[in-house]
């Protein structure tokens, strides 16, 4: 599905990715973890073809993205659905339009315009909202929903888009723990049902280790490990997060038996040690 | 990401230099513009003002005169409404073209491969901005003067003058509103393969619409006042009547007309405040 070869991405003030190499196969579920500032969000924006690598190659479905025309790039983007940390929805629009915006990659201008006046394909939008558990919010104004509900709307939009890959960039870091579990399992189950590839950037280590068969640790813009969760040791995690106070505190709490997700996640350090 | 501590304050001469430059400019302008408050209390000018004010009272309220003025009053409203409508038609497309975030810069263009597409965007942007500047720089009064010569006396040249001049202002402000919407929903739509038009329809316009409407209503309020001024060069409405009455020293008629104008402006204020309140 994806192949990244020594991808570098530099911004005017810093390097975000520094020679990152990674391969993701069709249908895989991968969690990406790492301290803040490691380049995870940049990685996801490169994967969804919003940013261009400064150097290195990105292959999507075997084709070098750097050589694609604008039109081919747009077609490729329709096959990649992204869910963001904060709601990237238009608050003033009704939920139905934010969900139906998943169709914009294949709708003609006329269709997009007329749908704003009288929504087209309402059944698909309603079905997607039912799948994410908020069927009654179809005609609500989006900014009147809670953060968790808006995140569900974002997932519903990706369902309507029906891409081959779902990228979720810290989808649950602004919701409470129990909702985080619900949303991550929702993403996992929906992707499994429709055989979509799923990449999730997660802030909480225990969600990553419990819900994903493959965990990639990123630090300083490079892959530090790429393992099954069973093979990830506390030492590896400590090394990954070394020097980042917040994340080290999270690890220490987990070591002490702190268990924010309850029964949804097994105690972390039974896994690898 | 990085810390949230702000960098230590550094002393900079810039704000002081700016303040000094401003004070100097103000002082020079007062001299050059012959600002002399004493002239205001000069007995001769006070006498002139008194004659004008005395002539105004009482306002002329004869039924036949009022009846005659209904049409110009309606005309003033019509000029402002149609003029603003034309301004929207001119300003909106130019505003889109004059938005750098749509044309050539920012998150929607990160992945651009074909350099010549960039070359299409930038010139269009530059031309749109230049056109808007020209439309704006020429006062509506001058536009009206031109259009009166082109299409004759009456409300039509007033409509055209407001449409063109305000089109320039609306376009400029629209483009600034568009450039300052939250870019994240735009990036999201763009990343899901939406076309440029799709991004505009589902990301840009819904976010910008309330500010658009609010500013357009404000411009409509201005258009009512402007249409009165435009009447002085023969572009119809209450202004033309005010000019006629002034020229014939019928100051009582002038006061009546000013009162009518006041009522119109106040009414428009109320209407647009209502619309705004419902919208925001």
Q: Answer yes or no: do A48 and A181 share one domain.
A: yes
Q: What is the pLDDT of residue B5?
A: 52
Q: What is the pLDDT of residue A175?
A: 80
Q: Answer yes or no: do A118 and A251 share one domain.
A: no
Q: What is the pLDDT of residue A254?
A: 76
Angle of the B251-279 helix axis to the B205-230 helix axis, nearest 10: 180
Supply A25's token pair: 């196969």
Q: Answer yes or no: do A39 and A68 share one domain.
A: yes
Q: What is the CATH number of the domain that holds A234?
A: 3.40.50.300
Q: Taking residues B8-34, what's their average pLDDT?
A: 84
Cα angle, residue A161 at apex, residues A157 and A164 outer, rounded to 5°: 125
> Structural domain tally of chain A?
2
Which residues make Cβ contacts (< 8 Å) with residue A202, sequence separation at least 6? A31, A32, A33, A170, A172, A184, A208
Q: Is A48 on the interface with B (CB under 8 A)?
A: yes
Share of chain B above pLDDT 90, in %: 34
Residue B2 has pLDDT above 50, yes or no: no
Q: What is the pLDDT of residue B3?
A: 43
Q: What is the pLDDT of residue A266?
A: 59
Look at the block and give the residue holding tokens 């008629």: B253
**ipTM for the predicted complex:** 0.85
Chain A residues whose beta carbon lies within 8 Å of the beta carbon of residue B107: 50
Q: What is the pLDDT of residue B114?
A: 47
Which domain does B221 fall in, by range? 66-279
Q: What is the pLDDT of residue A271?
A: 44
Min Cα–Cα distance to chain A from B104, Å = 14
Chain A residues whose beta carbon lies within 8 Å of the beta carbon of residue B190: 50, 77
Say which residue, A222 or B279, is predicted with more confidence: A222
Chain A residues whose beta carbon lies within 8 Å of the beta carbon of residue B183: none
- Residue B42 lies inside a defined structural domain of this protein: no
Residue B247 to residues B64, B180, B236, B242, B244, Cα–Cα distance (Å): 20, 48, 16, 9, 5
> Structural domain tally of chain B?
1
Q: How confident is the model at residue A273 (pLDDT cuts 50, 70, 90)?
A: very low
Which domain does A236 fall in, by range? 2-79+164-270
Q: Answer yes or no: do A138 and A47 share one domain.
A: no
- Residue B17 lies inside a defined structural domain of this protein: no
Burial of B118 (0-12, 13-18, 19+ CB in 10 A): middle
pLDDT tens digits, one per residue of A160-171: 999 999 999 988
> Of the given ranges (A83-92, A108-117, A161-170), which has the lowest mean pLDDT?
A83-92
Q: What is the CATH number of the domain that holds B139?
A: 1.10.3720.10
Q: Answer yes or no: do A68 and A196 share one domain.
A: yes
Three-class SS string for chain A? Answer: CEEEEEEEEEECCEEEEEEEEEEECCCCEEEEECCCCCCHHHHHHHHCCCCCCCEEEEEECCEEHHHCCHHHHHHHHCCEEEECCCCCCCCCCEHHHHHHHHHCCCCCHHHHHHHHHCCCCHHHHHHHHHHCCCHHHCCCEHHHCCHHHHHHHHHHHHHHHCCCEEEEECCCCCCCHHHHHHHHHHHHHHHHHCCCEEEEECCCHHHHHHHCCEEEEEECCEEEEEECHHHCCHHHHHHHHCCCHHHHHHHHHHHCCCCCCHHHCCCHHHCCC
**Cβ separation B198–A107 shorter than 8 A:** yes
**Last residue within a domain, chosen from A116, A133, A162:** A162
Say which residue, A54 or B117, is predicted with more confidence: A54
**Cβ separation B201–A105 shorter than 8 A:** no
Residue A5 phi/psi, 5-degree rounding, is: -115, 110
Q: Answer yes or no: do A150 and A120 share one domain.
A: yes
pLDDT tens digits, one per residue of B156-166: 998 999 999 99
Q: How many Cβ atoms sit within 10 Å of the Cβ of residue A263?
A: 7
**Last residue within a domain, chosen from A162, A179, A213:** A162
Say which residue, B88 or A203, is predicted with more confidence: B88
Chain A residues whose beta carbon lies within 8 Å of the beta carbon of residue B209: 92
Chain B: residue whose CA lies nearest to A68 = B113
Residue B179 has pLDDT above 60, yes or no: yes
Chain A residues whose beta carbon lies within 8 Å of the beta carbon of residue B184: 84, 86, 88
Q: Answer yes or no: do A157 and A131 share one domain.
A: yes
- Residue B56 lies inside a defined structural domain of this protein: no
**Cβ separation A104–B194 shorter than 8 A:** yes
**Cβ separation A76–B113 shorter than 8 A:** no
Instruction: Provide the chain A residues 98-127 that lie in CB contact (below 8 A) with chain B.
Output: 101-102, 104-105, 107, 109, 112-113, 116
The alpha-carbon radius of gyration of chain B (Å, integer) is: 25
Q: What is the pLDDT of residue B110?
A: 67
Q: Answer yes or no: do A97 and A191 share one domain.
A: no
Residue B240 has pLDDT above 90, yes or no: no
Instruction: Provide the chain A residues 142-201 that lie in CB contact (below 8 A) with chain B.
Output: 157-158, 161, 163
pLDDT tens digits, one per residue of B53-83: 888 888 888 888 888 888 888 889 999 999 9
Q: Answer yes or no: do A101 and A230 share one domain.
A: no
């Amino acid at each position: 599905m994806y192949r990244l070869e020594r991808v570098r991405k530099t911004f005017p003030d810093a390097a975000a990715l520094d020679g990152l190499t990674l391969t993701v196969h069709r249908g895989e579920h991968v969690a990406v973890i790492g301290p803040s500032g490691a380049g995870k969000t940049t990685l996801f924006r490169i994967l969804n073809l919003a940013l261009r690598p400064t150097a290195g190659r990105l292959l999507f479905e075997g084709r070098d993205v750097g050589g694609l025309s604008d039109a081919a790039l747009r077609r490729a983007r329709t096959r990649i659905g992204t869910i963001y940390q904060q709601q990237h929805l238009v608050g003033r629009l009704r939920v139905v339009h934010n969900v139906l915006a998943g169709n914009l990659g294949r709708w003609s201008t006329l269709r997009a315009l007329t749908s704003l006046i009288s929504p087209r394909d309402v059944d698909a939008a309603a079905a997607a909202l039912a799948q994410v558990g908020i069927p009654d919010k179809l005609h609500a104004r989006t900014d009147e929903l809670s953060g968790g509900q808006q995140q569900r709307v974002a997932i519903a939009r990706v369902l309507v888009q029906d891409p081959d890959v779902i990228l979720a960039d810290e989808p649950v870091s602004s919701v409470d723990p129990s909702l985080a579990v619900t949303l991550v399992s929702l993403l996992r189950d929906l992707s499994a049902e429709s055989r979509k590839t799923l990449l999730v950037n997660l802030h909480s280590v225990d969600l990553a280790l419990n819900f994903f068969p493959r965990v990639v640790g990123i630090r300083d813009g490079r892959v530090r490990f790429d393992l099954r969760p069973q093979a990830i040791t506390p030492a590896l995690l400590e090394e990954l997060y070394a020097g980042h106070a917040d994340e080290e505190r999270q690890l220490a709490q987990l070591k002490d038996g702190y268990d924010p997700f309850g029964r949804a996640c097994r105690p972390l350090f039974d896994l690898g040690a | 990401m990085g810390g949230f501590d702000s960098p230590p304050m550094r002393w900079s001469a810039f704000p002081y230099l700016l303040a000094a430059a401003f004070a100097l400019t103000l002082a020079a302008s007062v001299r050059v513009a012959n600002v002399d408050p004493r002239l205001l209390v000069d007995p001769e000018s006070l006498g002139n003002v008194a004659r004008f004010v005395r002539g105004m009272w009482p306002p002329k309220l004869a039924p036949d005169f009022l009846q005659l003025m209904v049409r110009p009053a309606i005309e003033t409203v019509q000029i402002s409404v149609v003029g603003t409508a034309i301004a929207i038609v001119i300003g909106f497309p130019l505003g889109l073209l004059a938005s750098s975030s749509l044309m050539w810069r920012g998150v929607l263009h990160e992945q651009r491969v074909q350099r010549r597409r960039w070359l299409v965007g930038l010139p269009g942007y530059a031309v749109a901005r230049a056109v808007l500047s020209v439309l704006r720089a020429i006062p509506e009064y001058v536009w009206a003067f031109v259009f009166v010569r082109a299409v004759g006396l009456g409300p039509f040249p007033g409509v055209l003058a407001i449409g063109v001049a305000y089109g320039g202002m609306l376009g400029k402000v629209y483009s600034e509103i568009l450039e300052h919407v939250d870019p994240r929903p735009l990036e999201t739509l763009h990343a899901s393969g939406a076309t440029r038009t799709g991004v505009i329809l589902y990301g840009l316009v819904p976010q910008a619409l309330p500010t658009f409407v609010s500013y357009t209503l404000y411009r409509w309020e201005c258009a009512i006042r402007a249409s009165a001024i435009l009447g002085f060069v023969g572009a119809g409405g209450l202004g033309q009547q005010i000019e006629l009455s002034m020229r014939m020293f019928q100051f009582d008629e002038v006061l009546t007309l000013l009162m009518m104008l006041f009522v119109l402006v106040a009414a428009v204020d109320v209407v647009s405040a209502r619309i705004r309140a419902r919208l925001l």
